[in-house]
Structure 1
Amino acid sequence: MEGLTRQLFRRILFLAIMLGTSPAMRAAEPPPPPATTSESSLAASLGDSAPVVVWGRTLVSYRLALEFPDVTERARAAGERISQALGRIDATKLAVQKVQIGAARGFVVSAGPLFLLSVMEGDLDPAAGVTPEVVANDVMRNLRELVRDHADQHTVALVIRSVVQAAIATLLFAGFCTAALWLRSRLLVRVTRTTREAGHALRVFGYDWRPVLLGIVTTLTRLLMLAVILCGSYLWVTYVLGRFPYTQHWADQLGQYLFAAVGTLASGAVHQIPNLIALVVIYLVTRGLIRALNGWFSAIESGNYFTSWLDPEAARATRRLADIGVWIVALIIAFPYLPGSHSEAFKGVSVFLGLMLSLGGAGFVGQIIGGLAAVYSRAVRSGDYIIVGETQGVVKELGLLTTKVITRTREEVTIPNSMLISSAIRNFSRAEGNMTVVSTAVTIGYDAPWRQVEAMLLRAAALTEGLLKDPPPRVLQSALDDFYVRYELTGCVPSAAVRGEVLARLHGHIQDVFNEHGVQIMSPHFENQPAAAVVVPRDRWHVKLNDPGKPGPT
């Protein structure tokens, strides 16, 4: 009898609360009109979700509007009601009670006579698979923590301790940032010095990659230090927010995000271990194959191994092509094993890079084809003396994209390889025995015996140091112009490196010999017909040259 009376009393008390004995209840959440369960379910499925937020913490999400204009207004009213009652809530009196309003069933969370909020069946997501009672109990536990944090927030000692801890953490974070910036500057100085000291070790395919490598390493170093500072900032913000009860939930969320991210990365790394092993194997096999090919091509370049179909100069270019081809094949094989290679972002980047290469790679491919055509046609080799366009000099380096030429004035001229297939190449280094041809021309009037002129030119060639005697120099009358005869002296020097110096000495001896025999190296031009015929008398056709050192005719 006593138990029945107690149960009846509780029901009467709860009915009084729900019918409006509490002014807050009457003003905030009036009872809804009668509705069927199917209507409530339909409203839940069609209505938007609105969270009940108190102190930045989401307690529950509503889907039913009941008698409010919309579900958002209902959630806002419940949040304001709990916020205003936080100081009056007794955490020990929090309870969950079942309620039915018309056809709508659910649970209410109250603290003694103080109504806080309700959780109806229509408020739940059917796909979540939870009951209103479970959600209401979770709300009650969160309210207990909220009431405790609200009480702690008004404790002076706790606030002072939190401020001191936050200040110490801020000072440590400032020191950490300063140390990170100092370390970044030291790393950049070290990277710059190491890259500059690398020298020819970073020259690939005839191109100095040091500026490019320096830019990449510098950017990566700065990004690494920025990532370190951002991680430190994340930890600092998480720690400081965790010192204060009002922001404790934010710190908990940041910590959960961090642990979730680390867990995702760790799980991804574990699942990628087989792929990483495959990538390492592909890299090792590729490196081994390239070393074997480089050893074989290097033997041909140095002359230690001879093959009829590949000369040393072509072996160098072929080695570069083989390296590129092997790496491309290795990259194609390794592509499926790269982390994220199957993602849409990776595919998009691949398409973008392919489009860029298609649009901007025409000139690049043209340079490569020009260099290969020059190498495999054997039109140009390193050390040759050539003339291309207005440039003449010794070929210093025949690269994959450009050719470097050292002129007679010791200037280095870079010629795009596309010019090698679009311009005529005059090569002076293809005489027998890999000698370099030297030639010069003079124009002498018709009044000078041509036999004497030829003899003087050969005398000057014989006096020139560095001009080879075998094959012997020769003189050709290349043109009979209107006022003079053009004589061309041709000889050979042992290498293209000394061509300029030998040619300069030859010009000096030509002047000395012609001066010695009284023959002017001036090209006459007549405005009027001379009174006497400009011819060589027969008695002077076979004039002998003077001995060296004796004065010539006056």
Structure 2
Amino acid sequence: MYRLLVIAVLVIQYLCTSLVSAQETSAPAQSSQGIFQAPVILDGSQLFLLRGVTGLPAERRALRVHERLVQVATASDSATVDIEKRKERFGYVIYADGVEILTVTQADASLEKIDIELLTDVQAKVINDAILTYRSERSDEARIEGAIYAMGWTLAFALFTFLGALLRRFLNTRITKLVHRNLAEVESATKAHVRADAIAALIRFGISFILLVIFFLGVYYYLSFVLLSFAETRYVAQLLLTYVTRPVLNIVLGFINYLPNLVTLLIIAAVTQYIIRGLRIFFEAVEAGSFEIGNFERHWVIPTFNLIRAALILIALVFSFPYIPGSESAAFQGLTILVGAMLSLGSNSVMNNLISGLFVIYRRSTSIGDRIQIGDHLGDVVEIKLMETHLRSTKNELISIPNAQLLNSEVVNYTKHSESSGVILHTTVGIGYEEPAEKVEAMLIEAARRTDGLRMRPEPFVLWTALADYAVNYEINAHTTRGSNIPRIKSELHRNIFDVFTENGVQIMTPSYEADPEVPKIPTEKWSGKLAHEASKADQA
């Protein structure tokens, strides 16, 4: 806190130095209907405006008057000023304690739209009061009073800093205790996925930031009030207060003027939230089975609700757009166009997957829980999102497939219609030409009968798929309603085919068959030994 105070003091000191140098010059000339004029400023107070001419610009003329006023005011500490007005060639000349201060011309009177003598009297009175005020504010009494005020503001700021430090320490301790107490159960239930310390640190950071902003505002206004206590720095204090107070007031007034639009936005938000809440209740009832909507499938509930909610939010944003602050400005509209262009140019693949996701959800070909095959990927559908579909493979791998690929690829669904007639599971074996076809077909059907998970109604059947060079390719086909267990069922079918062919002394051909060896290629006896015994016990279990 001390370091922040030192930095703030150095910054304000730099600003004060710059502004004090600016005080020695008059304000920049202003143009009013083509006439250049500049104000005469003494101790931050504007006395009057002076018109400029070609040979004597308004700024230089105002600066000269300022220098002469300071000269007369500092030359004496008298409580009176000898003001004298003389009519000369170019107008009336005002003297203060014998020093020429200002020449009031007819052009000045025309600018003020009053008589020249009246203007001379008014400006003479202003000059007299300004000199007396300048002297009184630099008297010993005024300096003592200013020092007392500065000391009072210093004590108040010290108390403000002390209370701020205590408040910060109290809030940090209190927030830590509250977060740990309220999130203790959550942290233990989620096995440290939610860190109470991290949440408390985040809240403490927000509180510290707010207190830091308040502290800097306190430093700013403290220095401004201290500078107001002395005549030499009062002009700087007025500028400092203007730089901060005016923007703050503009923000407050802007917020007050914006209140009707804010109320409209709140009404739009409340109505939209109320409608969305009603739709949520309705779709939850549909999902629970309380309402039935024709052929509306249950897994459509959440996507449909999300789509309708997104549409309602977009409609609410369209209605709210005219009431958003700055929506009518060219910068806001340009930013909106830029964002739209960036989205349209950079989101082609995103929109493609998004639209594809809608087709995947509503086209009825794939549902959550189905076992499907897409290219080389085989697995169960665990989640269908707008952008991608998640599969869990038979090896328990999570596969993410973009919906555009899912929509444009051939999808084999092993589950969709397996509950009625079932899916036809098939496999092919090559058997030599010397084996009778009826024998081979009977052995394949017997292997299918032994396989758990294959249906006997409709009956399994065999197709001849090819007459190869060394063998006939027989394809066994059987129905199954267990689409999610096809890999296991197919593996068991292959094992049963091997067992049946071995039992009947028929060897299955290899792809590169040249001649029959002297020793048969099929097992002549069953596997025996310790491992076979353990395997048999495991099968029985």
Please state if 1:412 is matched with 2:398: yes
Are positions 1:424 and 2:407 aligned together? Answer: no
* Closer, same or farther: CA 259–98 of 1 in aligned 2, 3 Å: farther
* Residues 450-469 of structure 1 mapped to structure 2, 5 A cutoff: 451-466=438-453
Matched, 1:337 2:320: no
Deviation at 1:73, TM superposition (A): 3.4
2:266 aligns with one of 269, 272, 280:
280
Counterpart CA distance in 2 for 1:377 and 1:480 is 41
CA deviation vs aligned residue, 1:339-375 (integer Å, no higher than 9, x gap): 4433334333332332223223332321221011122
Which residue identity lines up with residue 271 of structure 2 in the other structure?
Answer: V
After TM superposition, the structure 1 stretch with the greater mean CA deviation from structure 2, 487-496 or 414-423, is 487-496
Q: Of residues 480, 500, 503 in structure 2, which corresponds to 1:492?
A: 480
Residue of 360, 368, 372 corresponding to 1:382: 368
Number of the residue aligned with 1:112: 97
2: CA distance, partners of 1:137 / 1:479: 123
The aligned amino acid for 1:492 is T
Residue deviations 1:183-212 (CA, integer Å, cap 9, x gap):
79969x969x98xx79xxxxxxxxxxx9xx
Alignment of 1:350-369 (within 5 A): 350-369=336-355
Q: Which residue of 2 aligns with 1:162?
A: 150
Evaluate the alpha carbon distance shift between residue 113 and residue 281 of structure 1 in structure 2; reply closer, same or farther with a 3 A threshold.
same
Q: TM-score, normalising length from structure 2? A: 0.67
User: Structure 2 matches for 1:7-406, cutoff 5 A?
Assistant: 46=34, 48-50=36-38, 52=40, 62-65=50-53, 68=56, 70-83=57-70, 87-90=74-77, 92-94=79-81, 102-104=89-91, 108=94, 111-115=96-100, 145-151=133-139, 155=143, 162=150, 165-166=153-154, 169=157, 172-173=160-161, 176=164, 226=209, 229-244=212-227, 245=230, 246-256=232-242, 258-406=244-392
Q: For residue 433 of structure 1, give the secondary structure of its aligned residue in structure 2.
A: coil
Aligned to 2:19: none
Q: Name the CA shift for 1:57/1:408 in 2 (closer, same or farther; >3 Å).
A: farther
Q: How far, CA to CA, are the matches of 1:459 and 1:398 in structure 2?
A: 41
SS of 1:93's equivalent in the other structure is coil
Structure 2 Cα separation of the partners of residues 149 and 440 of structure 1: 108
- TM-score for both structures, normalised by structure 1: 0.66
Contact 1:442 1:486 in 2 (8 A): yes
Equivalent AA in structure 2 for residue 380 of structure 1: T
Cα deviations by residue, 1:460-508 (Å, 9 ceiling, x for unpaired): 4444445566666655555555555263555434463x55555555555
Distance 1:415 1:311 in 2: 23
Code of the residue aligned with 1:523 in structure 2: it is T
| Residue segments in structure 1 that go unaligned for 5+ positions in a row | 1-41, 199-209, 533-548, 550-554
| Counterpart residue type for residue 382 of structure 1 | I
SS in 2 for 1:284: helix
Measured after TM superposition, the shift of residue 382 of structure 1 is 1.1
1-side partners of 2:204 and 2:476: how far apart? 63
Q: Aligned in 2, Cα 1:292/1:81: closer, same or farther, shift over 3 Å?
A: same
- Secondary structure at the aligned position of 1:383 is classed as coil
Q: Distance in 1 between matches of 2:307 and 2:236?
A: 58
Match of 1:30 in 2: none
C-alpha displacement of 1:514: 4.7
Give the paired residue count: 467
Which aligned pairs between 1:516-527 and structure 2 lie closer than 5 A?
516-520=503-507, 523-526=510-513
Question: 1:166: how far off?
Answer: 4.1
- The equivalent of 1:15 in structure 2 is none
Q: Give the 3-state SS of the residue equivalent to 2:419 in structure 1.
A: helix
What is the correspondence of 1:460-479 to structure 2 with a 5 Å cutoff? 460-466=447-453, 476-479=463-466
CA contact (8 A) 1:153 1:159 kept: no
5+ long unaligned stretches in structure 2: 1-29, 188-193, 518-535, 537-541
**Rounded Cα–Cα distance in structure 1 between residues aligned with 2:243 and 2:321:** 31
* Shift in Å, 1:76: 3.8
Aligned alpha-carbon RMSD (Å): 5.0
1:112 offset after TM fit, Å?
3.1
- 66 and 306 in structure 1: CA distance in 2 versus 1, 3 angstrom threshold: closer
Tell me which residue corresponds to 1:29. Answer: none
**How far apart in 1 are the matches of 2:105 and 2:337?**
52
